[in-house]
Every structure is written in structure tokens, then in C-alpha cells.
Structure 1
Amino acid sequence: MKLIEYPNEILSRIISFLDTPSPFDDEILQKPKSALTPFESEAGIELTTIKASALKNLTLTCRFLRALTLPVLFKHAVLHPLLLSDFLSFLKSHDLSQHVVSVVAHVPGHYNHVHPAWWARLLNEVPATRLSIIAAPEVFAELARISLWSSDAWAFDMAFQILQLDQSPEAARMRIDYDDLPNFLVARPWQNMVVNEGSSLLAYTTYEFFLRRTPSLLTALHLNSSGPGDALFANLLSFDFVAIFPFYNHVDEVLKCVRKMRRLRRLFVKLCPEPESTWFRDEIEAAGGALDIHDPWNECETSWTLIAHSVVFLTTAHGQLCELQMDDVKVEAMRPTLEQGIGSLLKERWCYEDPASGIWRRRRVEQGSPGQG
């Protein structure tokens, strides 16, 4: 019996075994890098994994299998704003728009002069539940319509940062009015947010590094008392913050934003590099070794204490936080210090899930009103 003679349900099931999560999500905890290379492929969509290559090969066999495979093949897309029209035309011609689950947009420049805004067109025509943007800090400030405190940006040399936002399937079908364009931050009722600010390590090589202000969307939202930013924070259920070796005073500014997330259920924080990565050594070599290697780790320790205090703040009648995950426990040398420091402040209201897990959960009696525990 030939493959194409099997019922559609069986063929779809076979094809589903080649389905994979977005490769971008697998690397979102790494130092942000350029995503421009994918735009050399058809419609600006990246196909990198072995399974993705197998799916692409399957689409070349016959029209019947191509029709069954395309919705899986283009489930996760990468695009350049200047190629948006071609991207949307490609999806429309193959009836794929409703199958796109996530979109990664690399924004290498300023495109707010284009009307309607590229992000509004994308959100209106592609009901993806996840939008990730890779851009320079000043581009995010432009999207949010705020001023960025970037006079020290040269010291950090952060070419790229990442902002990832999730919405519900119902919200993904809401229409945006091009003639009354909302602020990007509140264009949809975003529920989950991931911010990856990259590495601050190079700034440690400058004189009085602790006086430098990190180029950051979150800092700008805090310092500008942004109304749309506050509205975004108030709606979030989950927040992930990744910033390798940030200064503790910058973490404090970020935590002031976190304290506005009163509906927040889950908080994820990563401040250290991956144990197996080499870029820590690479950046020190690139900087000529002109820094005290103890400084970044000291900043981390202070930041962990500040995080624990903010968790305690949200463990009140006004907060709904019930899970804290500290990814830095993967750094074995720092794990005892982190676990002891966090645990001593959370005390009896929280319990540590498992040894070396990095996950603290709020005790059930603390999650509801009296009598619900």
C-alpha cells in the first residue's frame, strides 16, 4: 500500500511526528543575536531543524502531501517588517494564516513612519498567539512611544534585545483600527511577557560602572510612568526576565515594574549565563580582561535578595503570585548561596519544590482567603 493511499487522518498523524516547538523559543534564554539570515528563504520563514527539513522535503513529493504538510511546516514563522506584504500574500495564497502559531519579527531599524504600522497589519491578518520581536533597545522605545534613557548605551553595546508577548486565541482575532492606532503595548490584552536584555558584562569594564544606566524598555516604562506600560503590567499572568549580569540597581528598576503585576501568577528570572556557554570567557577576552570578575557575581547576589523581597511584596492580599523560578541554580557554584538567600526570605509562606529545582511555590493556605486553604 502506497503512502498516499492511507486515510488523511493517518497521514496527518504521521506528519505530526515531524512537528517541533519553535527553534527560537529553545534559544530565548541565550544572548540575543541577529535573525536576519532567515529572510533569505521563501517568504522570510526559517527552516533549520532536521525535522523541518524533512517536512520541506515532504512538501515536494506531491500536491496532496504538500497540502497536508504546509500547516505544520509554517507553524512558526520569522519575518522582516519590510517583507510583510510578501509574507502575508504567501500565507493567503496557501491558506496558512490560521495555522501560524508564533511569529518572530526582526526589526533592524525604525519603521513607525509606515502606515498602517507593520505590527498592526500582522496582528490583524495572522491570528498567532505569540509575537516575538528582536530589535535594538531604541526600537522598543519607539514601539512603546516613550523616550529611552540611552546615554550610556555605548558602554553596554547591546545590539539586540528580545520582547516576547503571548495572547489568548480569542484576543488574537480582535481587530485593530488603523485610523485610531493604539499603543503597541496595549494593542492586545497580552497575558505572558518575556524580556531578554542580553549581557551587561562589557559595561563592567568602564569607570564607575555602577553609575551606568542600562538601555532597557522596562527602565524607560518605569521612569516615564507610562500609562500603557502600567496597563500591560496589570494584565500579565506570567513574566520572564533574562539579563545576563545586570547591575543590581537596574534589577531594582525592573522589579518596580514587577510590583505592578498584581495578577501575576508566575515569575521566572535568569541573571547568569548558561553553565556550558563560552561567551562569558569570550567577552572577557574581547574586553582585554579589564574587569574584576567578582563584580558581576556580587551584583547577582544582591539582585537575588531584591527579587526575594519583591516576591514577599506580591505575597499579600493584593498579589496572586504563586510560582517563582530562579534559573540561576544551574550554576552549581552559586546554587547554595542562591537557595539559602531566597529561602531565608520567603520562609514559611513558600516551599522549595525539589532540591536544585530553582522553583518555589506559594503554600496553598496563602493563595486564597481564610477558609479556602
Structure 2
Amino acid sequence: MSLLDLPNELISRIISFLDSPSPFDETVLHKPISWRNLKQPWQVDDPDHMPDGTPFWRDPLKQLSLTCHLVRSLTMPLLFKHAVLHPHRLTEFLAFLRDQTLTHHVSSIVADVPGIYNHLHPAWWARLLNEVPVTRFSIFAPPEVLAEMAGISADSADAWAFDMATQILRFDQTAEDARAQIDYDNLPNFLVARPWTNMTFNEGSSLLAYTTYEFFLRRTPSLLTALQSNHSAAGETLFANLLSFEFIAIFPFYNHIDEILKCVRRMKRLKRLFIKLCPEPDSTVLHDEIEQAGGHLDVNDPWNECETSWMLIAHTVVFLTMEGALEELHMDDVKVDGVRSTLENSLVARLQEWWAYHGDGSGVWRRKSLGLVASAPVAGQ
């Protein structure tokens, strides 16, 4: 008996074993990159002849889809489960999904937005969210574009020092909320266009700014600090709804982390907080950016900023222990061998009264019984 002799349901089940997570989600912990120059599958004139090179095409599924029409029809929903979009080709993208009956099979989309883009009514993101009920929506864009989408002005005076060409903003929503329709004639702020429950923000690397005079006075181009300084009502609503928040950066300044944490303190419903301030252990970004800067960087400065930032994070966790609903803290920097012991010992010493460490090397702290913290003083106020 051959594969094609099996019932379609069994073939689909076999194909499902080739499914894999979004490649974007697997790289979100790294310095942001752009896939702007890569051709997407829905841009191919002949879908039966799909070229190599796009990270969102998982090779086993792609190769299987080329075997025959039956297997192709069963493979397509998984092959396009995770998609990447360039907004200027939105109409073509939506037409492709409709023609292939794939609209309701796409679960996550990454939008790669250029630095100069027309966001006139109707907003591209509103059209996309109305027609494709994704539960995860990610945006690659320069800091100023993210600020524009959020309806606020960006502080870009020191942007030249950081050279952050791209940052990542990722939101999650429930499947039920994904089916709600946005009113084009009463367009909401993007931040509250959906009741987003989870938010990930990858700010990128601050290393180049360490090469400038009095680097600690430089203001990092950041959506979160812009929301803070602009007293954004949409930002406040967003923060109030979040259940999970992930902040990723590479050696941010401790005074910038202090500003980020002011936003985190507004997330009173937050259940999980994930923070990463160091590069991945196998990353070459530190070497690469020191080389790019011509060696004009004291390597002690970034690590010192990190250590101070960890203590500020601990103070905010204690605050959310008293004033919020936080249940889990994940400090991803424990993956770096050289700082693991310092980070673990510092946070355990500060949090042990209210939080239990999950185990050496895990980077995970979980809140103890609520009754144990009822009468404790609030830190950091």
C-alpha cells in the first residue's frame, strides 16, 4: 500500500508530523534582522515552482507539496501556517490567501514595514486583521514607524548613536478576538485595535551607543519610552490588558531599563514577565559591533549596566508582587555562563521572601503563596 492509498485524514495526520514552529519565533531572541529582500511564496507566478531561500518555507513541507496535487492540497494549510508580509503588497497577499482557500489556516503573520511607508486610511494593519484571523501578529519596523503606528511622536534625537534600523513588536490575541471586525470609519489606535493579551518587544542592540561621549545620557529610541513620555492613553489601556510581557534587548543602559520598568509597573494584570538583556551565548554581536566601532568600547561598561538593571528588575517584581498579579519571572540571561551565578544570587537574595527559584540555571522564579506577602513593604516607591 502506498501513501496515496490511505484515507485523506490519515495522510493529513502523517503530514502534521512535519509541522514546526514559526522560524521567526525561533529567532526573536536575536538582534532584529529584516527579510525585506526575500521573495515570498504568494508572490510566485507559478505556485508549482517555488524557489528556495525564504525562511518561512519549511523544506520538508515544501518538498512534499511538490509531489502531487492531492498531497499539495493537504500540505498547503501547514505550509502557510506562518506567513511574512510586506504591507505594500497587502492586496496581492490577501488575494493569494483567498484564491488558495488559506485565509483561516494562517495563524501568525510577520509584517516587514519599511522606514518610509504610507499609513493612510484604511490602515494596512486594519485590513489585514479584518481579513486574516491570526492569533499572533508581529511587526519588523524602525522605531519611528512603530511610534507612528501607535499615534505618538518618537524621541529620535539620539537615534544616530544607536543605529537601530529595525525593532520587533509582537502581539498575541485569542482566536475569538481575532474574528472581531475593526471599523474603518472609526479606526482605533493600533495598540488597542485588539485586546492583545501578550506582548513581545525586541529593541535591538545599544552597543554602538557605548562608543559615544557620556553614553549614559543618550536616549534609546523605543516605543515603550515614547508611550511613557507621551502619556499615551492607548498605551495605558494596552498595559492594563496584558497578561504576558517579554522584553528583549542587547546591553541597554540601566537608566533606560528604569524607564521600561515604569511601563511594566502599569501592567497590573501581568502573569508572566520575561526579560533578556544579554546576547545569546552563541551570538557574535558583541565582537561584531566592537569591530564596527573600531574597538572604541570599554567592554566592562555594558556588563556593569546589566548588573544594575537586574536589581532594578527585582525591585519592580517586588512591586508587582504587592500591587499586581505577577506569578512568573523568567530572566533569560542565566544562559550566559559568565554572569549566571551573579544574576541568580542577586535576585534570589532580593526575592526569596516572596518568590521561589525554580532551579539552578533555569532563570525562572515563581511567586509563593499570596498570603505570605500581604503585609510586606512595597519596594521602589
Give yes or no for TM over 0.5. Answer: yes
1:243 is aligned, of 246, 249, 264, to 249
**Who is 2:271 aligned against?**
265
Question: In 1, are the aligned partners of 2:354 and 2:372 still within 8 Å (CA)?
Answer: no
Aligned amino acid, residue 335 of structure 2: K
Counterparts of 1:94-105 in structure 2, within 5 Å, are 94-105=100-111
Secondary structure (helix, strand or coil) at the match of 2:200 reads strand
**Who is 1:23 aligned against?**
23
**Who is 1:130 aligned against?**
136
Q: Is residue 2:358 matched to residue 1:350?
A: no
C-alpha separation between the residues in 2 aligned to 1:48 and 1:66? 18
**Who is 1:38 aligned against?**
38
C-alpha separation between the residues in 2 aligned to 1:192 and 1:306? 22
Counterparts of 1:279-358 in structure 2, within 5 Å, are 279-316=285-322, 318-358=323-363
For these two proteins, the number of residue pairs brought into alignment is: 369
**Who is 1:167 aligned against?**
173
Q: What are structure 1's unaligned runs of at least 5 residues?
A: none
Question: In 2, are the aligned partners of 1:19 and 1:51 still within 8 Å (CA)?
Answer: no
Q: 1:50 to 1:173 in 2, by over 3 A?
A: closer
Q: 1:339 to 1:39 in 2, by over 3 A?
A: same
What's the CA shift for 1:367?
8.8
Question: In 1, are the aligned partners of 2:334 and 2:361 still within 8 Å (CA)?
Answer: yes
Q: 1:59 to 1:92 in 2, by over 3 A?
A: same
Q: Give a deviation string over 1:213-270, Cα, whole Å, max 9, x none.
A: 0000000000001000010000000000001000001000000000000000000000
Secondary structure (helix, strand or coil) at the match of 2:304 reads helix
- Report the aligned-residue RMSD: 1.9
C-alpha separation between the residues in 1 aligned to 2:245 and 2:67? 43
What's the CA shift for 1:50?
10
Q: 1:148 to 1:109 in 2, by over 3 A?
A: same
Of 361-370 and 119-128, deviating more is 361-370
Secondary structure (helix, strand or coil) at the match of 1:163 reads strand
**Who is 1:211 aligned against?**
217
Q: What are structure 2's unaligned runs of at least 5 residues?
A: 45-49, 376-381
Q: Give a deviation string over 1:189-230, Cα, whole Å, max 9, x none.
A: 000000000000000000000000000000000000100001
Aligned amino acid, residue 307 of structure 2: E
What's the CA shift for 1:348?
1.7
Give the TM-score, by structure 1 length.
0.95
Question: In 2, are the aligned partners of 1:130 and 1:165 still within 8 Å (CA)?
Answer: yes
Question: In 2, are the aligned partners of 1:199 and 1:246 still within 8 Å (CA)?
Answer: yes
Give the TM-score, by structure 2 length.
0.93
Q: Is residue 2:81 matched to residue 1:70?
A: no
**Who is 2:364 aligned against?**
359
1:117 is aligned, of 119, 123, 134, to 123
Q: Give a deviation string over 1:317-364, Cα, whole Å, max 9, x none.
A: x31000000011111111111111111111221000011111000013
Aligned amino acid, residue 343 of structure 1: V
Q: 1:193 to 1:283 in 2, by over 3 A?
A: same
C-alpha separation between the residues in 2 aligned to 1:194 and 1:39? 26
What's the CA shift for 1:48?
4.6
What's the CA shift for 1:49?
6.2
Secondary structure (helix, strand or coil) at the match of 1:39 reads coil
C-alpha separation between the residues in 1 aligned to 2:142 and 2:354? 39
Secondary structure (helix, strand or coil) at the match of 1:20 reads coil
Secondary structure (helix, strand or coil) at the match of 1:288 reads coil
Secondary structure (helix, strand or coil) at the match of 1:149 reads coil
Aligned amino acid, residue 126 of structure 1: V
C-alpha separation between the residues in 1 aligned to 2:374 and 2:4? 58
